[in-house]
Structure 1
Amino acid sequence: MSAETATASDNIHRFRNNGTAIKDGNQAWNAALEGGLIDIRVDYDANGRLRRLDGHRFVNLCSCSYLGLASHPAILEGAIDALRSQGAMDLPITRIRLRLNLLEEFEDELTKLMGARTVCAVTCSSATAGVLPLVASGHMTEDGRPRVMVFDKFAHFSMNLIKPICADETEVLTARHNDLNFLEDVCKKKERVAYVCDGVYSTGGSAPIKELLTLQDRYGLYLFIDDSHSLSLWGEHGQGYARSQMAEVNPLTTIVASLGKGWGTSGGIIMLGAPQFEAVLARFGGPLAWSQGLNVPSIGASMASLKLHRTPELGRLQRSLRDNILLFDELVTTPERGDGFPLKVIRVGEAEDAVRASAGILERGFYTSAVFFPIVKKGEAGLRIMLRADLTPDDIRAFAAAVHEFVPHRK
Structure 2
Amino acid sequence: MTTTLPSRPVRGPVTLQGRLTSELAKLHAAGLHISPRVLEAPQRARTRILGHEVVNLASNNYLGFADHPFVKERAAQYLHAWGAGAGAVRTIAGTLSIHEDLETQLAAFKHTGSALVLQSGFTTNQGVLGTLLQEGDLVVSDELNHASIIDGLRLAKATKKVFRHKDMADLRRVLSENPTEGLILVVTDGVFSMDGDIAPLGEIVGIAREYGAVTYVDDAHGSGVLGEQGRGTVHHFGLQDAGDVLQIGTLSKAWGVVGGYAAGPTELRDLLINRARPFLFSTGHPPAVVGALSAAIELVQQDPSFMERLWANTRFFKAELNRLGFDTFGSETPITPVIFGEAETAFEASRRLLSLGVFAVGLGFPTVPKGLARIRNIVTAEHTQEDLEIALSAYQMVGREMGTIA
Paired with 1:47 and 1:217, the residues of 2 have a C-alpha distance of 42
Paired with 2:308 and 2:29, the residues of 1 have a C-alpha distance of 40
Deviates more, 1:331-340 or 1:106-115: 331-340
Shift of 1:185: 1.5
Paired with 2:54 and 2:290, the residues of 1 have a C-alpha distance of 30
The one of 278, 285, 309 aligned to 1:287 = 278
Please say if residues 21 and 374 of structure 1, whose CA atoms lie closer than 8 Å, have aligned partners that are also in contact: no
The one of 248, 253, 257 aligned to 1:261 = 253
The one of 38, 61, 73 aligned to 1:41 = 38
The one of 188, 197, 202 aligned to 2:193 = 202
1:372 is matched by which residue type in structure 2? G
For structure 2, the residue ranges without an aligned partner over 5 or more in a row are 1-21
Cα 1:347–1:47 change in 2 (3 A) is closer
Shift of 1:51: 2.0
Paired with 2:43 and 2:274, the residues of 1 have a C-alpha distance of 45
The TM-score normalised by the length of structure 1 is: 0.85
Cα 1:335–1:212 change in 2 (3 A) is farther
Paired with 1:211 and 1:230, the residues of 2 have a C-alpha distance of 17
Please say if residues 25 and 374 of structure 1, whose CA atoms lie closer than 8 Å, have aligned partners that are also in contact: no
Paired with 2:283 and 2:62, the residues of 1 have a C-alpha distance of 27
Where does residue 318 of structure 1 map in the other structure?
Answer: 307
Shift of 1:296: 0.7
Deviates more, 1:373-382 or 1:93-102: 93-102
Where does residue 108 of structure 1 map in the other structure?
Answer: 104
Provide the secondary structure at the position in 1 that maps to 2:311.
Answer: helix
Where does 1:2-401 land on structure 2 (aligned, <5 Å)?
23=26, 27-30=30-33, 38-44=35-41, 48-53=45-50, 55-86=51-82, 88-98=83-93, 99-116=95-112, 117-137=114-134, 146-166=136-156, 169-189=157-177, 190-191=179-180, 192-204=183-195, 205-248=197-240, 250-272=242-264, 274-311=265-302, 313=303, 315-333=304-322, 336=328, 339-401=331-393
2:211 is matched by which residue type in structure 1? Y
Paired with 2:30 and 2:362, the residues of 1 have a C-alpha distance of 13
Name the Cα RMSD after superposition.
Answer: 2.4
Paired with 1:332 and 1:64, the residues of 2 have a C-alpha distance of 20
Paired with 1:369 and 1:157, the residues of 2 have a C-alpha distance of 19
Provide the secondary structure at the position in 2 that maps to 1:281.
Answer: helix
Please say if residues 122 and 267 of structure 1, whose CA atoms lie closer than 8 Å, have aligned partners that are also in contact: yes
Cα 1:22–1:223 change in 2 (3 A) is farther
Shift of 1:46: 11
Q: Quick one: percent identity of the two aligned structures?
A: 25
Shift of 1:339: 5.0
Paired with 2:216 and 2:291, the residues of 1 have a C-alpha distance of 28
Runs of 4+ deviating beyond 6 Å: 19-22
Cα 1:21–1:326 change in 2 (3 A) is farther
Paired with 1:226 and 1:22, the residues of 2 have a C-alpha distance of 35
Please say if residues 249 and 271 of structure 1, whose CA atoms lie closer than 8 Å, have aligned partners that are also in contact: no
Please say if residues 331 and 397 of structure 1, whose CA atoms lie closer than 8 Å, have aligned partners that are also in contact: no
Paired with 2:360 and 2:368, the residues of 1 have a C-alpha distance of 15
2:152 is matched by which residue type in structure 1? I
1:124 is matched by which residue type in structure 2? G
Shift of 1:120: 0.5
Provide the secondary structure at the position in 2 that maps to 1:71.
Answer: coil
- Pair member with larger Rg: 2
Cα 1:277–1:25 change in 2 (3 A) is farther
For structure 1, the residue ranges without an aligned partner over 5 or more in a row are 1-18, 138-144
Paired with 1:342 and 1:186, the residues of 2 have a C-alpha distance of 31
Cα 1:352–1:153 change in 2 (3 A) is same
